[in-house]
Amino acid sequence: MSRNKKAKWTWGMAALLSALLIVSGCGSKSGGSIVEGKINVITTFYPIYEFTKEIGGEEVNVVNLLPTGVEPHDWTPKSQDMVNASKAQLFLYNGAGFEGWVPSFLKGLNKDSEVRAVEVSQGIQLIDAEGDDGHNHGASDEAGHEHSHEAAGEAAAEEHAAGSGTAEGTSHHTDPHTWVSPKSALIMAENIKNSLVDADPEHKAQYEQRYEALKDKLAKLDQDFTEQLSGLPKKDIVVSHQAFGYLCRDYGLTQHAIMGLSPDAEPRAQDIVNLTKTVNEKGLRYVFFEELVSDKLAKTLANEAGVETLVLNPVEGLTKEQAENGENYFTIMEKNLQNLKKALQ
């Protein structure tokens, strides 16, 4: 890129970034209310909802908090959500800082509530990331992943008091996007199964049987990713936001993100310039974008670098069209695999 062209590009990107409103969403199926006579489980977003439904079957009533198309990072629980959670037996959330509102939400439940909160990312080796994530994901619960809502509320005060930045001003955040890797999803599914068995030991056999079926599907997906990505010549991908750390770690890839851990974390113009250079140096042919996040920056980067765009879905939720078409975690992850293979040839 010539000096004049680079200068025009940098000023142009600065103008675009200052005016651009990132329209993002991590939606998921939602709806429902407490059902008497069943184990009632509240889930915070789509992947946990899907796994819980598969394992729980007809013995479990699952109520997901986030509706389709709603962005979870900016979402605020309603009073009815707290009423439902207070009456439920289980409250399942990802943790690792993904749902920053959870500790205060649990603290605000009815004092006589017996709901058990379970952080389903427990047991996953978490990834640390540097830089501003664009919002308050919250802090991970280092004192324990399974706790009462009173304990969670007390932990929240300590976490917010401690802060997340270093003395030098560089913020360190836990990458919360655990579910995007089938290897991590296997751990999450087992944690969900164990929580259901603990809450309803009478139906242990049914939960175990359905968990084994889900485990087999996740193991097959893991095997497909391992085998089909291992022999490809390229190992670098450029993505919309930094949501693929676990996928890349587990399958030998490197992500270069336009945005940070949050799709709302805006890049600097110089970041886009550097990414253009990376695309050219690595010989990449595609820039990945997400259906639930504005594709403006991804398309701008692709146009500048002379490459095309492809979808790489972090499965934070379903679009309305995907929900209507019966898409799920597995169909989306299979599409991700096919698009990765296409990009890494």
Tens digit of each residue's pLDDT (9 = 90 or more) over 329-345: 999 999 999 999 999 99
pLDDT value of position 251:
98
Most confident range, picked from 22-26, 28-32, 98-102, 285-289: 285-289
At a CB cut-off of 8 Å and minimum separation 6, what does 154 contact?
Answer: 107
pLDDT over 90 at 32, yes or no = no
pLDDT value of position 199:
98
pLDDT value of position 227:
98
pLDDT value of position 150:
43
- DSSP letters, 258-309, are SS-SSTT-PPPHHHHHHHHHHHHHHT--EEEE-TTB--HHHHHHHHHHT-EE
pLDDT over 80 at 85, yes or no = yes
> For residue 263, which amino acid is it?
P
Q: What is the pTM of this model?
A: 0.82
Distance CA 83, CA 206 (A): 29
pLDDT value of position 144:
37
pLDDT over 80 at 328, yes or no = yes
Cβ atoms within 10 Å, residue 304? 20
pLDDT value of position 30:
46
pLDDT value of position 156:
37
pLDDT value of position 259:
82
pLDDT value of position 198:
98
pLDDT value of position 245:
97
Give the CA distances from residue 21 to residues 243, 257, 302, in Å, rounded to whole numbers and listed in that order: 19, 18, 19
pLDDT value of position 10:
46
Tell me phi and psi for residue 43, to 5 degrees: -120, 155
Name the pairing type of β-strands 254-257 and 236-239.
parallel
Q: What is the mean pLDDT of residues 171-196?
A: 94
pLDDT value of position 292:
74
Give the CA distances from residue 29 to residues 44, 81, 211, 316, in Å, rounded to whole numbers and listed in that order: 10, 15, 21, 11
Find tokens 């890839």 and name the residue.
253
Q: What is the mean pLDDT of residues 15-25?
A: 38
Instruction: Give residue 130's pLDDT band: very low, low, confident or very high (50, 70, 90).
Output: low
Between residues 172 and 309, the one the model is more confident about: 309
Distance CA 28, CA 323 (A): 8
pLDDT over 80 at 264, yes or no = no
pLDDT value of position 146:
47
118 token code pair: 């379970």
pLDDT value of position 169:
37
Between residues 67 and 88, the one the model is more confident about: 88
**What is the number of residues in the chain?**
345
Between residues 13 and 101, the one the model is more confident about: 101
Q: Express as a percent the part of the chain with pLDDT over 70.
A: 76
* SS3 at position 43: strand
Name the pairing type of β-strands 116-119 and 90-93.
parallel
* SS3 at position 79: helix
Distance CA 132, CA 126 (A): 18
The answer to whether 219 and 225 have CB atoms below 8 angstroms apart is no
